[in-house]
A and B are shown apart, each in its own frame.
Chain A
Amino acid sequence: MKLSLDRKTKVLLVVFLLIYIVVGVLNAIYLSKQSMGEAFKNVANRWVVKLPFGKGIFSRINPLTIFMTWAVMLVVILIAYRFKNPKLIPDRKQSALESLMEFVYQMVEDAIPDQRFVRPTFYIACTLFVFIVFCNILGGAIPGVSIEANAQGNIEKIHLFSDTWFSPTADINTNAFLAVFVFLISQVFAIKSKGFKAWAKTWFEPIPFMFPMNVIGELSKPISHSLRLFGNIAGGALLTYLLAYMAKYLFLPVILWGFFGLFVGVIQALVFTVLAIAYISSALS
């Protein structure tokens, strides 16, 4: 394969590689001073802030999740703003976005039986996919600022570029919100599509005796939906951290980030989207 790059891209690539190598060498020097027990002492602890109101688990938040969620939202909105007026002859970026949206639209059109709900479901599915892909790749493949906390949830140390960014989808709260949102939306669509009576009747099918099983089956959907994404992303971030420490950051990370960050991230975002479409379509049919 022959690559033809223009001058600007070449300069950018060289600068990126130089920064990458310098940061990698600095990190290798810094990390080799720590002992292993010290480096892994606070793995998987989260920064926790207690709110003045609420009680129990409802008064605890992880501020990093909120910052990162807003940052990703900002980036997605900026991208959307840039492509607000689509060109008739698309350039490279626009056609990439268009083919992504067409892919999602095909899936939605195949799955949703009611024609009126194809477009709303498409908007939801596409938004979910773009948001989750950004979060996952940020958390799995891009080195950045992250915070190490002790078991009580206080800040112990701030890592600059020796770990990946904290991904919002590595926090169960984000995923639980998204899954519950999909669940509620599917029920609302079902009521709108079939009417209230027919919707209520679906809970008592095939025989009225099955009502509790149907309720448990429906309620278990958001749980499996959210835990799947959470487990994959949180586990991937952890593995990347552990293995990057062992490989001293510089020699293996492309494979690690390529697999745990890019591959698993995109696959899980796709799985989340496909499941959201499947749940909405199963509620509609």
Chain B
Amino acid sequence: MRQGLSKYSIVMNFGVTVVSNIAVGAFLGYYIDKWTVKNHVVFVIFVLLGVASGLYNGFKYLLKEADKYDRHDKKDAEKHNDSRRD
């Protein structure tokens, strides 16, 4: 039960990370654009930065979770071997 829920939450977290990064990029870009140059170049650049940072952070998160699962599996396997030896 707990394993299944946490797998689901990984997918959710990845999506939320990507979307919120893009939102923050767009927000920052809009206001920096409004206060400085007032053409929409800065806004577009920041949206693209947001997309890039969303994918970067999302995949960083996914890799971290995969690492955690690997370590968990290894620990389980060791435990299994120990019990067999006994």
Contacts and interface: CB of A to CB of B under 8 A. Distances in A.
A89 interface: no
Contacts of B62: none
A4 interface: no
A220 B23 contact: yes
Interface string B32-73: 000000000000000001101110110000000000000000
A271 B9 contact: yes
Contacts, number: 41
Secondary structure dominating the interface of A:
helix
Interface string A207-235: 00010111011011101100110000000
Q: Give the most central of B17, B19, B20, B23: most A CB within 10 Å.
A: B20
Given A223-B23, A223-B24, A216 B53 contact: yes
Interface residues on A, range: 10 to 19
Contact of B56 (A217, A224, A271): A217
Interface string B9-29: 100000011011101110010
A211 to B, nearest CB: 10
Given A213-B56, A271-B9, A220 B20 contact: yes
B57 A217 contact: yes
Interface in A219-256: 219-221, 223-224, 227-228
Interface residues of B, number: 17
A112 to B, nearest CB: 15
Contact of A216 (B9, B16, B19, B50): B50
Contact of B17 (A214, A224, A271): A224
A213 B54 CA distance: 8
Given A212-B49, A271-B9, A220 B17 contact: yes
A154 to B, nearest CB: 31
Nearest to A212: B49
Contact of B24 (A210, A219, A228, A271): A219
Contacts of A210: 56
Interface string A22-36: 000000000000000
10 closest cross-chain pairs (CB), A and B: A213-B53, A224-B20, A220-B20, A217-B57, A216-B53, A220-B24, A220-B21, A224-B16, A223-B20, A219-B24
Given A213-B56, A217-B21, 16 more contacts: A210-B56, A212-B53, A213-B49, A213-B53, A213-B57, A216-B21, A216-B25, A216-B28, A216-B53, A217-B53, A220-B17, A220-B20, A220-B57, A223-B20, A223-B23, A271-B9
